[in-house]
């Protein structure tokens, strides 16, 4: 019997792969959300904007398995190969796939006030969307990619949008100050107010939030607040199991976490064979690719998992695509298009090696440049700096 815990992108792909690779035995998928697997990337884009109805996010391809939905795995006995479930039942397995993903990090204060939201599930999104419909102002706490995408959608609805983050620019942790500056300018050009370099110290309101207090002593009025300050791997149910949980579920390069146990997706960290470092990737493509690798390992067909990580985000009419890695201090150089036209692709290099490519409304060149990752960087100096003018209403790809 193979059990898959987590019924989302990685869990579904693992189950599909097991069947496709010839596993015909009993297969059980356990998921604590009470719905079939659905895609999260459209939540902060098409679902929030209203372009899509909720039914469009369901991942239509399914798999022959027993689905225990609305059921939580609460414990793991590694030596007995047994799961404890929230129903009070236990489930014995021969092989286990852990695909429990992450959940949004919350503020230590004010998070329970009405009008304060996080955005991870379909229900989160529909509740936030409903609140946004009558709001005049929204404060977004956190300028990562989810906060930035939500700012883009909310500003299109005529709501006054402010993003607050102690860091100097949006998405700066992911892609560094140069890209952060460009994303910041993109938002400013669309009328979004950026309060970078300040933290949130309090949420004000009796039952419902009405303002946000900042570390510089100022206060922002807010009808609605979105907290988008990163995420936490769902590993609590594995505490005491004997699995190593230093960065999500720690795996080796084959995605093995323990005897008969593999992990995949946002919850799994593994040692990337090409980089020699432990990585945990919270991106949609990795959920699929790593689930395939982990399922194959469980069937004895494993190979070291060595992907080129891929990520995209859509903000206004800009599609940003990123392949590879973007270590702190990696130097960008524009290799195709130009920043001023709003269509470019830049290589990022560290110690003379190309580690990643980032495209801004230039998908074909970005894809082609991806083959340069791992090669020597010809010129690591940026050809254009972050204060080059950026046209944001360029044609979409
Ligand atoms: C709003 C939003 C927008 C995004 N946009 C993009 C994007 O534009 N590009 C991109 O590359 N990535 C994006 N992502 C990230 C992408 O969606 C994730 O990388 C992907 O969903 C990870 O899939 P997963 O199956 O590993 O984890 P998850 O999708 O988090 O699923 C894990 C599942 O396990 C369940 N679970 C947790 N604990 C238990 C338990 N103990 N028992 C049973 N079930 C449990 C959870 O409830 C959940 O259903 C976005 C994510 C969000 C939230």
pLDDT single digits (tens) 71-113: 999 999 999 999 999 999 999 999 999 999 999 999 999 999 9
* Strand arrangement, sheet containing 73-77: 73-77, 82-85, 90-92
Torsion angle (degrees, nearest 10) of CA 223, 228, 232, 234: 60
Give how far Cα 223 sits from Cα of 75, 140, 163, 184, 211, Å.
Answer: 40, 11, 14, 23, 7
Pocket of ligand 1 contains residue 129 by CB under 6 Å: no
Pocket of ligand 1 contains residue 263 by CB under 6 Å: no
The answer on pLDDT for 61 being more than 80 is no
Give how far Cα 143 sits from Cα of 163, 339, 380, 390, Å.
Answer: 6, 22, 27, 20
Contact predicate 297/268, CB 8 Å:
no
Question: Which domains occur in the chain, in start order?
Answer: 2-103+231-298 (3.50.50.60), 106-227 (3.50.50.60), 317-372 (3.30.390.30)
pLDDT tens for each residue of 111-128: 999 999 999 999 999 999
Which pLDDT score, from 0 to 100, does residue 379 have? 61
Give how far Cα 342 sits from Cα of 182, 233, 347, 376, Å.
Answer: 10, 35, 16, 27
pLDDT tens for each residue of 200-215: 999 999 999 999 999 9
Q: Which of 142-156, 266-280, 306-320, 382-396 has the lowest mean pLDDT?
A: 382-396
153 CA to centre of ligand 1 in angstroms: 21
User: Sorting pLDDT into bands at 50, 70 and 90, what band is 60?
Assistant: confident
Task: Using DSSP bridges, classify how beta strands 200-205 and 209-214 pair: parallel, antiparallel or unpaired.
Answer: antiparallel
> What does R_g of the chain's alpha carbons equal in angstroms?
22
Protein residue with least CA distance to atom 27, ligand 1: 101
Q: How many CA atoms lie within 13 A of 31 on its CB side?
A: 22
**pLDDT averaged over the chain?**
94
Protein residue with least CA distance to atom 7, ligand 1: 41
The answer on pLDDT for 382 being more than 80 is no
**Which residue in the block uniquely carries the two structure tokens 């990090």?**
105
Which pLDDT score, from 0 to 100, does residue 16 have? 97
Protein residue with least CA distance to atom 3, ligand 1: 41
Protein residue with least CA distance to atom 53, ligand 1: 120
Structure tokens at 8: 């989302």
Q: Which of 108-117, 270-279, 296-305, 375-384 has the lowest mean pLDDT?
A: 375-384
Protein residue with least CA distance to atom 41, ligand 1: 73
Pocket of ligand 1 contains residue 9 by CB under 6 Å: yes
The answer on pLDDT for 391 being more than 70 is no
Which pLDDT score, from 0 to 100, does residue 390 have? 28
| Ligand 1 atom at minimal distance to the Cα of residue 236 | 41
**Is residue 338 helix, strand or coil?**
strand
Q: Where are the alpha helices (DSSP H) in the chain?
A: 9-20, 46-49, 122-132, 145-156, 172-189, 284-298, 363-369
CA distance 250 to 238: 12
Which residues in 297-311 are b (16+ Cβ under 10 Å) and which e?
A: bbeeebeebebbbbb
pLDDT tens for each residue of 135-171: 999 999 999 999 999 999 999 999 999 999 999 999 9
Torsion angles phi and psi, residue 145, rounded to 5 = -70, -30
Pocket of ligand 1 contains residue 229 by CB under 6 Å: no
CA distance 90 to 71: 12
Q: Which is nearest to 370 in space by CA: 287, 295, 285, 302?
A: 285
Pocket of ligand 1 contains residue 118 by CB under 6 Å: no
Which pLDDT score, from 0 to 100, does residue 384 have? 45
Pocket of ligand 1 contains residue 313 by CB under 6 Å: yes
Torsion angles phi and psi, residue 93, rounded to 5 = -135, 160
């Amino acid at each position: 019997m193979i059990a898959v815990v987590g019924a989302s992108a990685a869990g579904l792909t693992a189950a599909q792969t097991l069947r496709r690779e010839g596993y015909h035995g009993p297969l059980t998928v356990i998921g604590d959300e009470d719905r079939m697997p659905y895609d999260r990337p459209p939540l902060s884009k098409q679902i929030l904007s209203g372009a899509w109805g909720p039914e469009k996010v369901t991942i239509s391809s399914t798999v022959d398995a027993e689905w225990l939905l609305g059921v939580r795995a609460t414990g793991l006995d590694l030596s007995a190969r047994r799961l404890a479930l929230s129903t009070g039942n236990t489930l014995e397995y021969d092989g286990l796939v852990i695909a429990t993903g992450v959940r949004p990090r919350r503020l230590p204060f004010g998070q329970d006030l009405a009008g304060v939201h996080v955005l991870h599930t379909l229900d989160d999104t529909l509740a936030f969307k409903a609140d946004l419909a009558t709001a005049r102002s929204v404060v977004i706490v956190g300028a990562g990619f989810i906060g930035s995408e939500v700012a883009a959608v909310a500003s299109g609805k005529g709501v006054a949008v402010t993003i607050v983050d102690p860091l100097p620019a949006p998405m700066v942790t992911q892609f560094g100050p140069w890209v952060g500056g460009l994303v910041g300018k993109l938002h400013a050009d669309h009328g979004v107010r950026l309060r970078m370099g300040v933290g949130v110290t309090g949420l004000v309101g009796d039952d419902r939030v009405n303002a946000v207090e900042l570390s510089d002593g100022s206060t922002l009025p807010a009808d609605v607040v979105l907290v988008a300050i990163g995420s936490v791997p769902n590993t609590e149910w594995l505490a005491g199991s004997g699995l190593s949980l230093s960065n999500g579920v720690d795996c080796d390069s084959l995605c093995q976490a323990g005897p008969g146990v593999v992990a995949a997706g946002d919850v799994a960290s593994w040692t990337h064979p090409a980089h020699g470092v432990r990585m945990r990737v919270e991106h949609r493509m990795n959920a699929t690719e790593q689930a395939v690798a982990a399922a194959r390992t469980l069937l004895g067909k494993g190979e070291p998992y060595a992907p080129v990580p891929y990520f995209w985000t859509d903000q206004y009419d800009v599609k940003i695509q990123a392949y590879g890695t973007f270590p702190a201090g990696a130097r960008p150089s524009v290799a195709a298009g130009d920043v001023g036209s709003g269509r470019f692709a830049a290589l990022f290099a560290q110690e003379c090696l190309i580690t990643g490519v980032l495209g801004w409304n230039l998908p074909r060149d970005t894809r082609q440049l991806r083959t340069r990752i791992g090669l020597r960087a010809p010129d690591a100096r940026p050809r254009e700096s972050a204060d080059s003018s950026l046209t944001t209403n360029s044609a979409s790809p």
